[in-house]
Amino acid sequence: MNAVVELWAWARGKRRRFRVTGESMVPTLTPETYVLIDPHKQPGAGSLVVAVHPYKDIEICKRVAMIQSDGRLELSSDNQQVGQDSRHFGPVSPNAIVGVVTHVLARSGPSGR
């Protein structure tokens, strides 16, 4: 049912589709997984988010590990052995958040089966 709601929201332009590349969010999101994000939803601790990298001109997919008292967010990789996240580039501003992942459209790889 949630899938229908999310697809309807996407069709009405309330969601944005992203393609996740890389392995830092394995096993939650395998490379080439398609996700929908809600650009207006407020992230909480544990949320999967798409954010603007603080130092590179790319958008990244990470998990919110913690929201600090000053509002900045610590982002973490589910695959911490390989991921680059707030352990490397520090907490990010709330303005860096592009949106919260609300739905996984389709996975690629073993964990999606």
Partner 1 sequence: MTLSHRLLAAFDRCVPAPVADAHCDGPCGVYDPSSARIAAEAVLSMTKKIVDLDMSADGAHNTFSRFVAIKEEQAEITKRELNILWHDYFKPNHLEAYPDLHTTFWNAAKQASACKTSVDIGACEELMSQIEAIHNMFWESKGREVPWYTAS
Query: Closest approach of Cβ 2 to partner 1, in Å?
Result: 15
Residue 59 CB, nearest approach to partner 1 (Å):
5
Q: In whole angstroms, give the CA distance from residue 86 to residue 107.
A: 25
Output the smallest distance, CB 14 to partner 1, in A: 16
Shortest spacing between CB 45 and partner 1, in angstroms: 18
Buried b (16+ CB within 10 A) or exposed e, 14-33: ebeebebebbbbbebbbeeb
Complex with partner 1: residue 8 or 19, whichever CB lies closer: 19
Euclidean distance between CA atoms 113 and 44, whole angstroms: 28
Which residues sit at the interface with partner 1, rule CB under 8 A? 16-25, 29, 31-32, 34-35, 50, 53, 58-62, 77, 79, 81-84, 87-88, 90, 105-108, 112-113
Q: How far apart are CA 4 and CA 1, in angstroms?
A: 5
Helix, strand or coil for residue 99? strand
Nearer to partner 1, 17 or 66 (CB): 17
Identity of the residue, 92 or 107, whose beta carbon is nearer to partner 1 in the bound complex: 107
Name the token pair of 44. Answer: 């909480």
Nearer to partner 1, 71 or 112 (CB): 112
